[in-house]
């Protein structure tokens, strides 16, 4: 069954191709997602919810933002079904087109001033489409990279799709930093639309890359073993305990990430704190660039030290830095604001870089796309979707940022506990194939060799 024609599929060359393709696609989709998140923090309140005061407007904008997370489990079911039944590649092409086109459409929307209540309704609909697309995107991209990699190097190649998050964040905050530097009149006029409209160019690039992508060898080898039941039914029946652990594993990697970026932006730029929007966006852009450079190295450490150990370091480090980050926003110099954003992003990288492989190896190949996508989607809905809203509510209710810090520390405690109990399995197919023909397993590349991506 395991012939040499299939063993070659697990070479480093194939893993690199899958990893780069996963990176390009996820970078585009996370750019689209972060453009919306940044706009929600800066402009969507007054443009689409102008009858509320500033903090209530931000809360309404974040609520619309959160809807995209709530539909992600549905996207995981839809595209997980396609990915488990027909292959990872067709699912990834569809999600990219949906995400890109909905993002461009946001840039063409009328505001409340021009269209009244129809404007926020259209914004909500497009956010739902974005959420459905992302619900199926990340799981498929991760599986492509991890399932194509030799067993001993899965964490390293699993870091490639994780690069998309920081690259997308860098593109989104970088564009908004340039636009906000032109002044509020330009930003609130046509300027906010530009980052959304740029996505039309990115769609073409991503579509071309995804069409050229080879199918996952693990899917090819196990396609005949896929369960006869619907993938979501099999996932719930067989994997529900592990899915609960996966959901509990992600509150910091998911929700905590948005607390230290999206919520921090809204908090820092509110009148009581009074930081300049451009300063905050520049600090976020610098932090995203550092994360982009560090991600593959951290993923490489996951193969050397153990992926769970690296994530634990990131969790504990993030917990130690959250209080200094928010305290420095209200009283630190420009240097220390940049420094704390970068330091926090580095510790968050340690929670993010290895998690793709950790989640993938928690589930057997059968209905894996659905299991990982639905778990990640529910985690996003619960943690990332509610975290900015919860933090905004806590801060508005108590008047103290300490309540948000305690909230973050609670997320760290839950994530660390679930990490301890998370199972890690070896793909039987991947393991046999990668060991079956040593000639195809060329020396493991150093992280620096991928810096051109």
Q: Which of 54-58, 218-222, 271-275, 344-348 has the highest mean pLDDT?
A: 344-348
Residue 356 has pLDDT above 50, yes or no: yes
Residue 449 has pLDDT above 50, yes or no: no
Q: Would you kindly state where each structural domain of the chain is located, as residue ranges?
A: 8-425
CB of 283 closer than 8 Å to CB of 345: no
Confidence of residue 295 (pLDDT cuts 50, 70, 90): very high
Residue 56 has pLDDT above 50, yes or no: yes
Among left, alpha and beta (phi > 0; psi -120 to 50; other), residue 399 is left
Q: How many CA atoms lie within 13 A of 179 on its CB side?
A: 23
Q: Which of 63-72, 207-216, 244-253, 274-283 has the highest mean pLDDT?
A: 244-253
Cβ-proximal residues to 277 (8 Å cutoff; 6+ apart), any chain? 42, 180, 269
37-65: average pLDDT: 73
Question: What is the per-residue pLDDT across 136-156, written as a single tens digit (0 to 9) for each?
Answer: 988 998 998 898 888 889 999
- Gap between the Cα atoms of 336 and 310, Å rounded: 26
> Which residue is it, tokens 């039914």?
233
- Gap between the Cα atoms of 173 and 292, Å rounded: 14
Q: Determine what percent of the chain is predicted with pLDDT higher than 70.
A: 89
- Top pLDDT among 36 and 156 is at 156
Residue 53 has pLDDT above 70, yes or no: no
- Gap between the Cα atoms of 444 and 19, Å rounded: 14
Confidence of residue 437 (pLDDT cuts 50, 70, 90): very low
Q: Which of 216-230, 252-266, 366-380 has the highest mean pLDDT?
A: 366-380
- Top pLDDT among 428 and 170 is at 170
Residue 428 has pLDDT above 70, yes or no: no
Cα angle 281, 285, 291; round to 5: 145
The per-residue pLDDT for 51 is: 66
Question: What is the per-residue pLDDT across 189-211, written as a single tens digit (0 to 9) for each?
Answer: 899 999 999 888 888 888 888 78
Among left, alpha and beta (phi > 0; psi -120 to 50; other), residue 306 is left
Residue 433 has pLDDT above 50, yes or no: no
Q: Determine what percent of the chain is predicted with pLDDT higher than 90.
A: 37
Q: How many CB atoms lie within 10 A of CB 331?
A: 9
The per-residue pLDDT for 442 is: 40
Residue 298 has pLDDT above 60, yes or no: yes
The domain 8-425 having CATH identifier 1.20.1250.20: the answer here is yes
Lowest mean pLDDT among 235-239, 258-262, 392-396: 258-262
The per-residue pLDDT for 300 is: 96
Lowest mean pLDDT among 160-164, 200-204, 412-416: 200-204
The per-residue pLDDT for 49 is: 75
The per-residue pLDDT for 434 is: 42
CB of 358 closer than 8 Å to CB of 422: yes
Residues across the chain? 453
- Gap between the Cα atoms of 101 and 239, Å rounded: 34
82-94: average pLDDT: 90
Long-range contacts of 40-45 (CB under 8 A, 24+ apart): 40/64, 40/65, 40/262, 41/262, 41/263, 41/265, 41/266, 41/269, 42/176, 42/180, 42/187, 42/192, 42/265, 42/269, 42/277, 43/187, 43/188, 43/192, 44/123
- Gap between the Cα atoms of 381 and 70, Å rounded: 4
Cβ-proximal residues to 208 (8 Å cutoff; 6+ apart), any chain? none
- Top pLDDT among 428 and 235 is at 235
The per-residue pLDDT for 32 is: 80
Question: What is the per-residue pLDDT across 301-336, written as a single tens digit (0 to 9) for each?
Answer: 999 999 999 999 999 999 999 999 999 988 778 899
Residue 4 has pLDDT above 60, yes or no: no
CB of 95 closer than 8 Å to CB of 79: yes
The per-residue pLDDT for 55 is: 63
Question: What are the φ and ψ backbone dihedral angles of 20, each rounded to 5 degrees?
Answer: -65, -40
Residue 355 has pLDDT above 60, yes or no: yes
The per-residue pLDDT for 29 is: 74
The per-residue pLDDT for 245 is: 97
The per-residue pLDDT for 370 is: 95
Average of per-residue pLDDT values in the chain = 84
CB of 42 closer than 8 Å to CB of 268: no
The per-residue pLDDT for 3 is: 34
- Top pLDDT among 68 and 347 is at 347
Residue 59 has pLDDT above 70, yes or no: no
Residue 447 has pLDDT above 60, yes or no: no
The per-residue pLDDT for 7 is: 42
Question: What are the φ and ψ backbone dihedral angles of 71, each rounded to 5 degrees?
Answer: -90, -5
């Amino acid at each position: 069954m395991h012939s040499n024609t299939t063993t070659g599929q697990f070479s480093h060359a194939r893993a690199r191709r899958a990893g780069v393709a996963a990176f390009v696609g996820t970078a585009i989709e996370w750019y689209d997602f972060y453009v919306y998140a940044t706009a929600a923090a800066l402009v969507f309140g007054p443009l689409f919810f102008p009858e509320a005061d500033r903090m209530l407007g931000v809360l309404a904008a974040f609520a619309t933002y959160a809807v995209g997370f709530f539909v992600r489990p549905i996207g995981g079911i839809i595209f997980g079904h396609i990915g488990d039944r027909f292959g990872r590649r067709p699912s990834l092409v569809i999600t990219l087109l949906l995400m890109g086109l909905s993002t461009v459409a946001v840039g063409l929307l009328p505001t409340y001033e021009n269209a009244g209540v129809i404007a926020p309704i259209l914004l909500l609909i497009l956010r739902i489409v974005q959420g459905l697309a992302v619900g199926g995107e990340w799981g498929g991209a991760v599986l492509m990279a991890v399932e194509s990699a030799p067993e001993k190097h899965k964490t390293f190649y699993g870091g490639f799709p994780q690069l998309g998050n920081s690259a997308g964040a860098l593109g989104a905050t970088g564009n908004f930093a340039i636009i906000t530097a032109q002044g509020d009149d330009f930003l609130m006029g046509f300027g906010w639309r530009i980052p959304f409209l740029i996505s039309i160019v990115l769609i073409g690039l991503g579509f071309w890359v995804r069409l050229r992508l080879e199918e996952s060898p693990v899917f090819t080898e196990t396609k005949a073993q896929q369960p006869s039941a619907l993938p979501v039914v099999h996932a719930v029946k067989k994997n529900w305990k592990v899915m609960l652990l996966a959901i509990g594993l992600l509150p910091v990697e998911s929700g905590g990430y948005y607390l230290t970026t999206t919520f921090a932006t809204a908090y820092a730029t509110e009148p009581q704190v009074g930081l300049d929007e451009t300063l905050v966006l520049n600090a976020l852009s610098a932090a995203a660039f550092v994360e982009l450079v560090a991600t593959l190295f951290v993923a490489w450490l996951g193969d050397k030290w153990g992926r769970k150990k690296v994530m634990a370091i990131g969790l504990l480090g993030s917990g130690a830095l959250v209080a200094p980050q928010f305290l420095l926003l209200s009283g630190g110099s420009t240097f220390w604001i940049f420094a704390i954003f970068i330091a926090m992003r580095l510790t968050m990288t340690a929670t993010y870089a290895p998690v793709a492989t950790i989640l993938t190896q928690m589930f057997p190949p059968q209905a894996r796309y659905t299991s990982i996508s639905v778990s990640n989607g529910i985690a996003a809905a619960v943690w990332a979707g509610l975290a900015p809203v919860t933090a905004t509510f806590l801060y508005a209710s108590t008047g103290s940022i300490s309540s948000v810090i305690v909230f973050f520390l609670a997320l760290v405690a839950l994530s660390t506990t679930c990490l301890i109990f998370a199972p890690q399995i070896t793909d039987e197919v991947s393991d046999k194939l990668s060991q079956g023909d040593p000639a195809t397993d060329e020396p493991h590349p150093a992280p620096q060799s991928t810096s051109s991506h």
